[in-house]
Amino acid sequence: MKKRQSRSEERRHEILMAALSCFSEFGISGSTIDMIKERSGASVGSLYHHFGNKEKIAVALYTEGMNDHYARLKKALEETQSAELGVKSIVVTFINWIADNPEWARFVFYSRSQVAQIDKDEALKQGNREHWGMLKEWFSPLVKCGAVKQLPPECYSSIIVGPAQDYARRWLSGREITDIREYIDVFSDAAWLALKP
Amino acid sequence: MKKRQSRSEERRHEILMAALSCFSEFGISGSTIDMIKERSGASVGSLYHHFGNKEKIAVALYTEGMNDHYARLKKALEETQSAELGVKSIVVTFINWIADNPEWARFVFYSRSQVAQIDKDEALKQGNREHWGMLKEWFSPLVKCGAVKQLPPECYSSIIVGPAQDYARRWLSGREITDIREYIDVFSDAAWLALKP
Amino acid sequence: MKKRQSRSEERRHEILMAALSCFSEFGISGSTIDMIKERSGASVGSLYHHFGNKEKIAVALYTEGMNDHYARLKKALEETQSAELGVKSIVVTFINWIADNPEWARFVFYSRSQVAQIDKDEALKQGNREHWGMLKEWFSPLVKCGAVKQLPPECYSSIIVGPAQDYARRWLSGREITDIREYIDVFSDAAWLALKP
Amino acid sequence: MKKRQSRSEERRHEILMAALSCFSEFGISGSTIDMIKERSGASVGSLYHHFGNKEKIAVALYTEGMNDHYARLKKALEETQSAELGVKSIVVTFINWIADNPEWARFVFYSRSQVAQIDKDEALKQGNREHWGMLKEWFSPLVKCGAVKQLPPECYSSIIVGPAQDYARRWLSGREITDIREYIDVFSDAAWLALKP
DNA sequence: GATGAATGAGCATTCATTCAT
DNA sequence: CATGAATGAATGCTCATTCAT
């Protein structure tokens, strides 16, 4: 019984990984079903049986990737009280996730807009909302009590992860060679300097 | 005499603008020659007569867009001496360019990697090198004399424009509605706070 | 079981025959995929599924046609001992093949150079080599023992089939109306007269 | 006055030679106006001014090439009386013309059918008729008086030039390397052996 | 005569998706 | 569940030809 299930699960996972590798390398529209078929070893029919169409593979991939990141972040923040450590923790978690999942990160960075267009008001936004809700919940008390500089709410995330994200994009595309992890302190310091009261 | 020239130039420009509007809206691979044809009023043959193929239109567009931004930045920095004003000036110029040329900015943000892949070691890198050379020339004396915090060189640009870029991406994609110009101070202050000694 | 196979084989064959008819009538570059599609009843996608591209259809066709001719010739020569009968047999086989497969012959005559250019050092040359090897094996003993006039080796085939081929080209293109089979004796006699010691 | 004329004539000739080089290398339909433009140094408009369209360039080229060959042959036959020398002379002239004008020969061999299709009942056939008429006039008395073997009239030319033509095709396409002139005797002897009474 | 920008029908090819086996 | 042949709309691009300057 378990075997049957796992066979199917295996297939699904193989396809997902193959798709990630393609999407990360060529983007969604630059990847063809045939390429995913080739890299996964599954048949065309199997791809469609499991996911319905190419876009849905992308959405599944995106969701899974973001959920992982969200989960890491949630865990990190739950263990943190001080504003400084919290802000830095966001940067650190962000950078570590990227370094641990470069293909996923490349996919998320470069294909976000397409996935968003596909998903139009569905699961994606849901996850997103939860994520931002969680962040807000963590942040607003600190802002109120003056532990973090008061700024327009929609600017915080940009200031915190913007620098690391900019470097990550360059690094993931090969334009920078130094591993982003070497700059964890640089970018988390920068974030905190910009936000400390 | 001028007329002959300008007829041809006009066409070229019409095509370029039509392509920009398409690329900005649908990305390079999402835009079809037919769409550009329709929006420009030129014939297919004319498109190919002037640019050779779709990719070359993208490269021409990218180059022109970046050159404009580079030129603005150069001018801004030439008029600035103090480190603080200089750093803030970079952010301000960046934000103003984006707000003045949202289509161009969207295109540059979302299609950079594709254009880079097309252009492989050509004109693009050339312009890029000049740009970074100019920035370095402006920056290094300030770092040396302690007017700006000492950091790994490849991190400066990320720290300076990263936050604004992150917000710009969201704004340009419609996920944020507040005009980025309203946050010019927020982002330029953040940049300076992170870099001041 | 057989049905599945044959469905696919059938399609392949239909396409091949349709392509032959087109290529023979308009040449390779003069035939469009659409024409082949129309004549074969297959869809565009099916054409590409089975052959990859137009050129490969041509190569497949050429190979098949030549193999048939080679096979006939081999069989004919195996049944022959005398030099005279052998030489004449080559001409006879050549003419009969042409008359039995006029479309194939027209295609082979008129598109050989293009197919050769496509196939560049592949399967084609292989078949060719085998063919000439077989002919040589059959011929050289006869030359050595004086049963056939001694000539530069690369001239034999021209002398044997040249006349028939020249007539065949005219006949196949409609410039001659008398069926080439009526001249079987004329051309096989001519070949032998030119080669007998 | 002469200069003006010759400028124009020069252009015409440059175009013709460029077209010959293209047609000989890629065939008529494989050659584009742009290629001819490039090789000739003329502008597109100039090409059309002088020839009207691509096909007419081909016809002009074909006619000129054949006329040269016809003229040579006529001259050669006029100087010959004996049947044997005449037959051999045809082969010799044929081979020499090919060796002297390989591009022209390649063009004539490979593009004859296309040119014929273009020219439909025009100049081409006219020249052809004259040519065959001349040959007939020279030949029929010899056949009648028994100096040449009696054969179906439409077979003579095939028997005479067929072998040389077959070798020439292979040589011109690079499949044979030995210069065809080295086999002048082989092929003219073969022709005579096949035709002597 | 010369030039080259403009035109648009035509073409090969790709690719997501369906569906019978 | 798996397979892969079949489908056909969509797309980038070519190229002969025209014509205003």
Q: Which of B10, B27, B52 is the last residue of a domain?
A: B52
Q: Is A109 exposed, middle or buried (0-12, 13-18, 19+ CB in 10 A)?
A: middle
D18 in a structural domain = yes
Give A5's pLDDT tier (boundaries 50, 70, 90).
low
Q: Can you read off the two tokens belonging to residue A12?
A: 């699904």
Q: Closest nt to D31 (CA→C1')?
A: F15
Helix (H, G, I), strand (E, B) or coil at A148: coil
Q: Stated in angstroms, how far is B69 CA from F10 C1'?
A: 36
What percent of chain C has a predicted confidence (pLDDT) above 70?
95
Which tens digit of pLDDT belongs to each residue from C116-126? Answer: 888 876 767 78
- Find, among D175, B34, D158, the residue nearest to C170 by Cα: D158
Inform me whether the C-beta atom of residue A31 falls under 8 Å from chain B C-beta atoms.
no
Continuous segment of H or E residues that includes residue C114: helix C102-119
Residue B11 CB in 7 A reach of strand E: yes
- C45 and C66 in a single domain? The answer is no
**b (16+ CB within 10 A) / e for B165-190:** bbbbbbbbeeebeeebeebbebbbbb
How far is residue D120's CA from residue C73's CA, in Å, rounded to a whole number? Answer: 37
CATH number at residue D161: 1.10.357.10
Q: What is the DSSP string of chain D?
A: -HHHHHHHHHHHHHHHHHHHHHHHHH-TTTS-HHHHHHHH---HHHHHHHHSSHHHHHHHHHHHHHHHHHHHHHHHHHT--SHHHHHHHHHHHHHHHHHH-HHHHHHHHHHHHHHHHHHTTSHHHHHHHHHHHHHHHHHHHHHHTTSS----HHHHHHHHHHHHHHHHHHHHTTS--S-GGGGHHHHHHHHHHHH--
Residue A178 CB in 7 A reach of strand F: no
Q: What is the extent of the structural domain holding D95? A: 62-195
Return positions of chain F under 7 A from a protein CB. Answer: 1-21
A183 in a structural domain = yes
Question: For all residues of chain A together, what is the average pLDDT?
Answer: 90
Residue D43 CB in 7 A reach of strand E: yes
Which tens digit of pLDDT belongs to each residue from C27-51? Answer: 999 999 999 999 999 999 999 999 9
Residue D48 CB in 7 A reach of strand E: yes
- D105 and D132 in a single domain? The answer is yes
CB-CB contact of B190 with B95 (8 Å): no
- D140 and D71 in a single domain? The answer is yes
Q: Is C187 exposed, middle or buried (0-12, 13-18, 19+ CB in 10 A)?
A: buried
List the Cα angle A154/A159/A161 in 5-degree steps.
Answer: 105
Q: How many domains does chain D have?
A: 2
- A39 and A107 in a single domain? The answer is no
Q: Which of C14, C33, C52 is the last residue of a domain?
A: C52
- Find, among D46, D178, D50, D62, the residue nearest to D115 by Cα: D62
Q: Stated in angstroms, how far is A12 CA from E19 C1'?
A: 21
- B68 and B152 in a single domain? The answer is yes
Q: Chain A closest CA to B162's CA: distance in Å?
A: 4
List the Cα angle A122/A124/A128 in 5-degree steps.
Answer: 125
The C 11-70 residues near strand F by Cβ under 7 Å are 11, 42-46, 48-50
Inform me whether the C-beta atom of residue A165 falls under 8 Å from chain B C-beta atoms.
yes
How far is residue B116's CA from residue B113's CA, in Å, rounded to a whole number? Answer: 5
Q: Does the pLDDT of residue D4 top 60, yes or no? A: no
Which tens digit of pLDDT belongs to each residue from D137-190? Answer: 888 899 999 999 999 999 999 999 999 999 999 999 999 999 999 999 999 999
This prediction's pTM: 0.89
CB-CB contact of B36 with B19 (8 Å): yes
- Touch D-C: 3+ C-beta pairs under 8 A: yes
How far is residue C149's CA from residue D170's CA, in Å, rounded to a whole number? Answer: 22
D136 in a structural domain = yes
**b (16+ CB within 10 A) / e for D139-173:** beebbeeebbbebeebbbbbbbbbbbbbbbbbbbe
- A108 and A131 in a single domain? The answer is yes
* Model pLDDT, residue D1: 42
CB-CB contact of D76 with D90 (8 Å): yes
Give C99's pLDDT tier (boundaries 50, 70, 90).
very high
- C31 and C97 in a single domain? The answer is no
- Residue D32's region, left for phi above 0, alpha for psi from -120 to 50, else beta, is beta
Which tens digit of pLDDT belongs to each residue from C139-166? Answer: 889 999 999 999 999 999 999 999 999 9
Return positions of chain E under 7 A from a protein CB. Answer: 1-21
Which tens digit of pLDDT belongs to each residue from B97-153? Answer: 999 999 999 999 989 888 988 887 676 778 888 888 888 888 889 989 999 999 999
A29 in a structural domain = yes
The A 76-115 residues near strand F by Cβ under 7 Å are none
CB-CB contact of A181 with A96 (8 Å): yes
Total residues belonging to chain D: 197
Residue with tokens 């000439």: C132
- C103 and C169 in a single domain? The answer is yes
B-chain CB neighbours of A155 within 8 Å are 163, 167, 183, 186-187
- Find, among A11, A127, A117, A157, the residue nearest to A64 by Cα: A127
B139 in a structural domain = yes
The D 28-47 residues near strand F by Cβ under 7 Å are 29, 31-34, 44-45
Query: Long-range pairs for C9-16 at CB < 8 Å and ≥24 separation?
Result: C11/C42, C11/C46, C11/C50, C12/C50, C14/C40, C14/C41, C14/C42, C15/C40, C15/C42, C15/C46, C15/C47, C15/C50, C15/C51, C15/C57, C16/C57, C16/C60, C16/C61, C16/C64
Q: Chain B closest CA to A8's CA: distance in Å?
A: 33
How far is residue A65's CA from residue A69's CA, in Å, rounded to a whole number? Answer: 7
D-chain CB neighbours of C190 within 8 Å are 159, 194-195
D-chain CB neighbours of C165 within 8 Å are 162, 166
CATH number at residue D38: 1.10.10.60
Q: Which of C29, C52, C75 is the last residue of a domain?
A: C52
* Model pLDDT, residue B6: 65
Which tens digit of pLDDT belongs to each residue from D116-127? Answer: 888 776 767 788
Residue with tokens 């934000």: B95
B182 in a structural domain = yes
Q: Is B132 exposed, middle or buried (0-12, 13-18, 19+ CB in 10 A)?
A: middle
- Find, among A110, A38, A24, A94, the residue nearest to A15 by Cα: A38
Question: For all residues of chain D together, what is the average pLDDT?
Answer: 91
* Model pLDDT, residue A80: 86
C57 in a structural domain = no
* Model pLDDT, residue D6: 73
> Which DSSP state fits A38?
H
Which tens digit of pLDDT belongs to each residue from B154-196? Answer: 999 999 999 999 999 999 999 899 999 999 999 999 999 999 9
* Model pLDDT, residue B33: 96
Using the beta-carbon criterion (under 8 Å), do A155 and B162 form an inter-chain contact?
Answer: no
Q: Does the pLDDT of residue C3 top 50, yes or no? A: no
* Model pLDDT, residue D121: 64
CB-CB contact of B172 with B106 (8 Å): yes
Q: Can you read off the two tokens belonging to residue B32?
A: 């079809």
B57 in a structural domain = no
- B3 and B68 in a single domain? The answer is no
Number of H helices, E strands in chain C: 9, 0
What percent of chain C has a predicted confidence (pLDDT) above 90?
73
- For chain C, the distance separating the N- and C-terminal CA atoms, rounded to the nearest angstrom, is 58
Residue of D159, D169, D188 for testing the chain C interface, max C β-carbons within 10 Å: D159
How far CA B17 is from CA of B14, B107, C38, D54, in Å, comes to 5, 12, 41, 36
* Model pLDDT, residue D2: 45
- Find, among B44, B39, B45, B46, the residue nearest to B21 by Cα: B39
- Alpha-carbon Rg for chain B in angstroms: 19
Q: Does the pLDDT of residue C2 top 70, yes or no? A: no
How far is residue D59's CA from residue D123's CA, in Å, rounded to a whole number? Answer: 9
Which tens digit of pLDDT belongs to each residue from B73-100? Answer: 999 988 888 899 999 999 999 999 999 9
Distance of CA C11 to the CA centre of its chain: 23
Q: Which residue's alpha carbon is at the shortest distance from the C1' of E21?
A: C4
Residue with tokens 């065959």: D132
Contacts of A among chains (3+ CB pairs under 8 A): B
* Model pLDDT, residue B137: 87
* Model pLDDT, residue B1: 35
- C91 and C184 in a single domain? The answer is yes
- B159 and B75 in a single domain? The answer is yes
- C100 and C10 in a single domain? The answer is no
What mean pLDDT do residues D104-119 have? 89
Using the beta-carbon criterion (under 8 Å), do A162 and B157 form an inter-chain contact?
Answer: no
